[in-house]
Chain A
Amino acid sequence: MRRRLPSEWSKLLIGLPESGMGYQRVDIRFSDGSVQRDCPVFNGEELELPDRFATKEIADVKLHRTERSLRT
């Protein structure tokens, strides 16, 4: 499902590099402690998530770090 990010997270992502043209790969931590890794965010504002995370409150957003990016 597609979910619009609260503006605080959009502002954060706009200051971070893209993962490819028009998107960023992020790890999401929810307020209940669960984590969903490697989710695409489009245009810094639209997050693609599995349906089961539809109503969970987002506690933190970080760029997803691949093995490749960790080397650099």
Chain B
Amino acid sequence: MGYQTVEVEIPSGTRRGTVYNADLLLLEEEPRAHLAAGVYERLAASAGVLEARTIRSIRVVPRELDVRLSATTRGLVLTASSGPATDGELRGTAPGDVFARFTAYSNDRRITPEKGLLPGTYATTEEDSRAVATGEQAVERYALPNPTPATYRFRIDPTAGTQHQAGIVQPAYGHTGGGVEVLFTVGTARDTVSGPAVLPEA
């Protein structure tokens, strides 16, 4: 809602990006530091930089193609909503399903002292998490409003049948999103969370 995923041809080649409100283009590699607050006014602050580019052509990427390109977990895409996780069908996890959670905080307050997730906690699939090598990449892929690199990666091994909804992270806060998001509606059992592994910031 309120954005279009596009491919633009500029002198240096073809780039993907997101157009907000039909008048502001942000390319995927655009610096994000000044977009920290994630509001449209901040997006507009970067317009001067963008105007300096010479766009030769621009085309809107169809939504189906956008989803296929942005989600790496083919099996999950077949069962996940192409919208956010809150639109996804409520399902139970299968035996052996593994998930990951990125955060800028080593003391993640969504993890209980018994090493479970609280109800209403988000994560991603372990497979999708492989696309993320740095804390900054996690911020971009999961469209996180906190600009601090999410360098802590927790692993979640839920018991079979744990309720969750799955979907695709929508563009937000100046980020393109596109990763898989999983919402554990009732949390996870004790002793299902381990870590964190620590990633480089950039």
Contact = CB atoms under 8 A, between A and B. Distances in A.
Interface of A: 10, 14-18, 20-23, 40, 42-45, 48, 68-69, 72
A45 B142 CA distance: 20
Contacts of A40: 38, 145-146
Contacts of A14: 109-110, 118
A45 B146 CA distance: 12
Most B-side CB within 10 Å, residue of A16, A17, A44: A17
Interface stretch (B16-24, B64-72, B98-106, B189-197): B98-106
Given A43-B108, A68-B86, A20 B37 contact: no
Contacts, number: 74
B181 interface: yes
B5 interface: no
Contacts of B172: 20
Interface residues of B, number: 33
Interface string B110-138: 10000000111111100000000000000
B122 A18 contact: yes
A21 B103 contact: yes
Given A22-B146, A44-B109, A68-B86, A17 B120 contact: yes
- Sorted from nearest, which 6 A-B pairs have the closest CB atoms? A17-B120, A21-B122, A40-B145, A43-B105, A22-B103, A42-B146
Contacts of B144: 20-23
A5 to B, nearest CB: 11
A17 B119 contact: yes
Contacts of B109: 10, 14, 43-45
Given A21-B101, A42-B104, A44-B110, 16 more contacts: A14-B110, A17-B119, A17-B120, A17-B183, A18-B183, A20-B181, A21-B102, A21-B124, A21-B150, A21-B181, A23-B144, A40-B38, A43-B104, A43-B108, A43-B110, A48-B37
Given A40-B38, A69-B86, A21 B145 contact: no
Nearest to B145: A40
Nearest to A10: B109
B86 to A, nearest CB: 7
Contacts of A15: 118
Nearest to A50: B37
A15 B146 CA distance: 21
Contacts of B110: 14, 18, 22, 43-44
